[in-house]
Structure 1
């Protein structure tokens, strides 16, 4: 395919957060391997991000943060400016297809592409479509979904849907090759705890207290790897020290997929990237969705993996030390269930999602 796609250009659009940029990066790598040139349209937050693109185009954008007339007018003005710039950029570089990864920074280039008659692909990472993608869905040529189960989608859009999965980083693909090592009856029980790229206060508040409630014999078997906010690390570490629990605490783990592969159980939020990585690697999880998201995307994501048998979903209001301690005791007493959950998570994963998405994009581009 490389010979037929050489000198062709595809424009990827992703906002400046890892949740959108990492899948776009994985697609860019897959396309580059096929001889396709890639440009990136993004906002100023991603100016420092090392992206495998020929050129990065900074497009003005804004997110709807308030419903008052002044806030809405400012957002509309910024999106209008972004659309005009995207119109100019697309006219100059002439991409064969424009691919968006969600969030309001993708709105201007995808609208400009539709106005110019350029084919478009929208990738929805979550189990429910976000606001920006709902705005764009009727305009785009095709919609790729990160989950096989896709909730609350208009019937008129179903003909555009293609399941590809969520592209994951090369480090995740390597980690996915590591088999799950079953928890032994009296062996070390390895827990990995994290709450997204910035950490989550609820994990620091609940997990150490839950572990304190466990039987002393089970506590002695634990090894906890926990990501915590910088302001929480000392307190979390001191709590584990007092309990005599083996632990590693940090505000960021650059090798998180490796640590995920080494865990018997993962306790985390349920962002699309987290769920994609958890299922690609094949590890059981206790998932605590972010409670205040307008679209409740994390609730849907966790529900998909729970329904597949790979995770336990606990809404934050019920994520108490008592509830978590109960779940940990039940799983420790029944190691075979962890193995079943690991296999179910793996079965629902798509480590080849970047290649699947590349296939769709190239079909839409007519290559």
Structure 2
């Protein structure tokens, strides 16, 4: 068997085991967990390979067995860190190979992050069909290691950089899975602010580099025209160490502001938002586009391979967002931009529609469908008539 064709099997999905593997960050783990749940619902057994950081994401997943592997990053490390990371990856690969030989899964699906390399690399050596999912608009470094061996390269965006021309026939745009509460917003219409009506501004910040949002936005918002400030309702997520300073800036402005380091009701606040200001990490962009909410995106400038900028560009090109680089994220520029956006309901409504066009609904189920197709099963997970079945050639599902 080669990676140039899908496996043909007479074993139903209910009798098969699928191995998933992912790095330890939420951006990698959330879509992997979503696929795990989708496969379990269809009757498959799932084994999850990851590192110690990510084990908490799979603790309560019914039907999922988690195997922890040693792994270490290499990018951005010093010499000692790179050596340590490579040694841990080598040990993890040896352990992953040993587990895979024992489990013998029908397929291995990788979601990027260095902790995914041991299982995806081992799958190639053991001739186990393997696919990868890329969350960003740039193929991640771990996924680049195994892309040429992948039967399928699932993407969150219609265009992804650093995928070679030879690999493009195996690309399938599945989208990036989001939590069910956000997915439900796909059917929630966007209602642009009415003249003299309330305007809801939602500001979220990623775990990296959110300080600039807390420093610039309060100053920019209090400079808005008084008639707009009276209508404005601001929900702002800020790091705990930035809350007091942000609150002092807003004090006396007459603006209705809610400041917290964490909101556990983001789906409801996103549903009601007229405009969102955020970083452009993969999970954030996926949620904004599925929900169909217009946004002002400020890419993290030091993200690996500048992937946040390319994420934002994809949504901007679809008409669903406005991108503003961090170097231009000044009080004056932001205040002027917000005054224009928040008093332009038709532009906001068009952007909401543009955001929806950049989304891929039911991404977890699309990924599960991809796995089923890789195994040569019909959409219900049952065997096909092998006498009539021919292998799926690369590109069939594109």
Matched residue of 1:117: which SS?
A: coil
Determine whether 1:351 maps to 2:361.
Answer: yes
Q: How many residues align?
A: 365
TM-score, normalised on structure 2?
Answer: 0.88
User: Matched residue of 1:266: which SS?
Assistant: strand
- Structure 2 spans left out of the alignment, 5+ residues: 1-10, 378-398
Alpha-carbon distance in structure 1 between the residues aligned to 2:307 and 2:171: 18
Q: Does 1:296 align with 2:306?
A: yes
Q: How does 1:304-315 map to 2 (within 5 A)?
A: 304-315=314-325
CA contact (8 A) 2:209 2:300 kept: no
Task: Check whether the contact 2:300–2:308 (CA below 8 A) recurs between aligned residues.
Answer: yes
Take 2:214 and 2:16, find their aligned partners in 1: how far apart are those partners? 48
CA distance in 1 between partners of 2:83 and 2:108 (Å): 27
- The farther-off stretch of 215-224 and 147-156 is 147-156
Counterpart CA distance in 1 for 2:207 and 2:363 is 22
Residue in 2 aligned with 1:146?
Answer: 156
Residues 65, 71 of structure 1: 8 Å contact kept: no
Deviation at 1:212, TM superposition (A): 1.6
Deviation at 1:70, TM superposition (A): 3.0
Structure 2 equivalent of residue 23 of structure 1:
31
Deviation at 1:332, TM superposition (A): 2.4
- Please say if residues 190 and 224 of structure 1, whose CA atoms lie closer than 8 Å, have aligned partners that are also in contact: yes
1:29 positional shift: 1.6
Alignment partner of 1:98 is 2:123:
no
What corresponds to 1:175 in structure 2? 185
- Write the distance in 1 (CA, Å) between the matches of 2:76 and 2:318: 37
Number of the residue aligned with 2:223: 213
Quote the residue 2:21 is aligned against.
Answer: 13
- Going from structure 1 to structure 2, the CA distance change for 1:327 and 1:151 (only over 3 Å counts) comes to same
The offset of 1:163, in angstroms, is 0.8
The residue aligned with 1:64 is: 74
- CA-CA distance at 1:293 after TM superposition: 1.6
- For residue 99 of structure 1, give the secondary structure of its aligned residue in structure 2: strand
Q: Deviations over 1:250-284 (max 9, x none)?
A: 11122222211110000000011111110000000
Does the aligned pair in 2 maintain the 1:199–1:251 contact within 8 Å? no
**Relative CO higher for 1 or 2, CA cutoff 8 Å, sep ≥ 6?**
2
- Counterpart in 2 of 1:41? 49
Tell me the alpha carbon deviations over residues 316-352 of structure 1, each in whole angstroms, 9 at most, x when there is no partner: 1011111111111111232111001001111221221
Q: Does 1:363 align with 2:373?
A: yes
Gaps of 5+ in 1: none
- Counterpart position of 2:5: none
Query: TM-score, normalization: structure 1?
Result: 0.96
1-structure distance, mates of 2:209, 2:372: 37
CA–CA separation in structure 2 for the residues paired with 1:25 and 1:171: 15
Distance (Å, rounded) in 2 between the aligned partners of 1:25 and 1:277: 16
Deviations 1:277-318 (Å, cap 9, x if unpaired)? 100000000000010123111100000000000000011101
Change (3 A) 1:30 1:242: same
Range with greater deviation from structure 2 (27-36 or 263-272): 27-36
Deviation at 1:231, TM superposition (A): 0.5
Alignment partner of 2:109: what SS? strand
Report the alpha carbon displacement of residue 121 of structure 1 after superposing the two structures with TM: 0.8
Measured in 2, the distance between the counterparts of 1:67 and 1:252 equals 30
Residues 1:252 and 2:257 are matched in the alignment: no
SS of the aligned residue for 1:295 comes to helix
What secondary structure sits across from 1:41 in the alignment? strand
User: Do structure 1's residue 120 and structure 2's residue 136 form an aligned pair?
Assistant: no
SS in 1 for 2:241: coil
Matched, 1:283 2:279: no
In structure 1, the residue matched to 2:386 is none
2:128 and 2:98 map into 1 onto residues whose CA distance is 13
Relative to structure 1, the CA distance from residue 198 to residue 259 in structure 2 (aligned partners, 3 Å threshold; closer, same or farther) is farther
Shift of 1:34: 1.2
Secondary structure of 2:187's counterpart equals: coil
Distance verdict in 2 for CA 1:336–1:352, change over 3 Å: same
User: How far apart in 2 are the matches of 1:301 and 1:276?
Assistant: 10
Structure 1 residue 268 and structure 2 residue 278: aligned? yes
